[in-house]
Amino acid sequence: MTHIDVELKQWATPRQAEYIDAINEYGSGAAAGTHLGVTRTAINIAIQAVKKKAAIAGYSPDHAMTHTAPNPFIVKGVSTLYGEDGQPKAQWVKTTLDREKYDEAIKAAIEAMAQDIPRVAPLDAPDGCIESLCNLYTMTDTHVGALAWHKEGGADWDVKIAERVLTGCFERMVQSAQPAKVCVINQLGDFLHSDGLQAITPTSGHLLDQDGRFSKIVAAAIRILRRLVDLALLKHEAVYIVMAEGNHDMASSVWLRHMFAALYENEPRVTVNNSELPYYVYQHGKIMLAFHHSHLKKMDGLPLLLAAQYPEMWGATTKRYCHTGHRHHVEEKEHSGMKVIQHPTLGARDAYAARGGWLSEREATAITYHKEFGQVARVTVCPEMLE
C-alpha cells in the first residue's frame, strides 16, 4: 500500500491534490490512474512536482525537513545536527525571498493602499490646444535617491538636487513646447535609484550609493511626479502617463502606476498606462509611440517584438517611434518600420559610472508629434539652464 503525506496538499494544485487523495484511497499510483483515467507516469510526475515545491518551502519529512518558510520566503539551505542515535537534534534553516511571491504580495498591498489615497479634484482644461499635436516629455534614469560627488563624477546629486533639477527642467520643457492637445509623460524607468529598504539593485544585489532613508526618497519621488502631472494639466487637455519598469525600480514602478491611477481617478483628463508587461504603447492618429527601458531588450530587437506584441496598432500606423533609456546617452537609429530613440539622463554620474568611464551629456527632450506627419519639433533642456 502506497501512502502520500496529506500535508503535501497545501503545495498542490487542485488536480495534484486529487491525485494524492486517489493514491491514498486506492493504494497505488497505478490504481489511482485507472480510477482517474490517467497514466501512472502522469501521476508520479505530478507527485514529484508537489514534493519539490514543498521542499523549496522547507517541507520534506523524508529528509528531516519540517520547518517551513513563511510567505514570501523560500528555503535557501538546511543544516541538520544528528545525534549518535541517528536522530536529528537541531536544525538551522536559511531562507531567501521568493521573488514571484514577493511581487504578488507587493501588488496586493499596493492595491489595498490605493483604496485610501485621497483623489485629486478635476481641473478645467486649458484653451487653445492644437488637436493634431502630441507632446512627449521623456525623463529616464534620473535615479532619485542616488548620491553622487562632483569630485568623482563631475557633479553633485542627492534627493534635494534631484527634486530641483527634475521639476525645473520639466517646467522649462512644458513652457517651451507646442500647445498640443495631448501630452505623454514618459517616465522611462530607473526613476528611483533603489527598490526598497536595502540600497541594492533588485536583481544582482549590487551595493548602491544612496542618499538617506528609502521613505525620504519615496516622498520626494511622489512630489516630483505630482508636480510634473500638475504642470502638464495646466497646458494640455489630456495627459497620458507611462511609469516604466527599470532594472533599478522593478517593484517601485508597480506601486507608482497604482498610486497615480488612484490619485487621479477623478480626473478624466489623466490616463495611466496599466500594462503589466514592460513594453508600453500609445497611438496618436497614424503615429505609434512605444516605450521600454531597454534593460530586457536591446534596441535592434524592439521593432520586431513590438510588431508582434501590438500587431493591430502596428498595422494602423504609418510612422512608429520607440523610446528607450538605460544606457544614459543619446543614440538614434532607424530600423525597418520603426525609429528607436535612446534618451540621456538629467542625473549626475555616481561613483560606479565615473569609475567605469561612462560619460554623457545631461539633458532631457520634449518631442512634438503630428498625428499624420510624425515628429515635427523638439525642445531640449539641461541642468545648466537652471543656474
For residue 170, the model assigns a pLDDT of 97
Q: What is the pLDDT of residue 62?
A: 78
Residue whose C-alpha cell reads 505609434 in the numeric block: 288
Based on the fold, state whether residues 274 and 167 are members of the same structural domain: yes
Whether residues 217 and 366 fall in one domain: yes
Which segments of the chain have a pLDDT < 70? 69-78, 81, 89-93, 95-117
Helix 40-56 and helix 14-26: axis angle, to 10°? Answer: 120
267: CATH: 3.60.21.10
Q: How confident is the model at residue 102, as a pLDDT?
A: 55
Q: DSSP per residue over 98-144, as a string? A: -HHHHHHHHHHHHHHHHTTSPPPPP-PPPS--EEEEEEEEEE----B
Q: Are residues 122 and 259 in the same domain?
A: yes
What is the tally of structural domains in the chain? 2
Say if residue 158 is in the same domain as residue 28: no
Supply the pLDDT for residue 99.
59
* Cβ–Cβ under 8 Å, residues 165 and 215: no
Residue type, 336: S
**158 burial type by CB count under 10 A (0-12 exposed, 13-18 middle, 19+ buried):** buried
Residue 177 located in a structural domain: yes
Assess whether 159 and 220 both reside in one domain.
yes
What is the pLDDT at residue 103?
59
Q: In this structure, are 212 and 299 located in the same domain? A: yes
User: Which amino acid would we find at residue 112?
Assistant: A
Provide the domain limits for residue 17.
1-56
Say yes or no: 22 and 136 in one domain: no
153 and 251 within one domain: yes
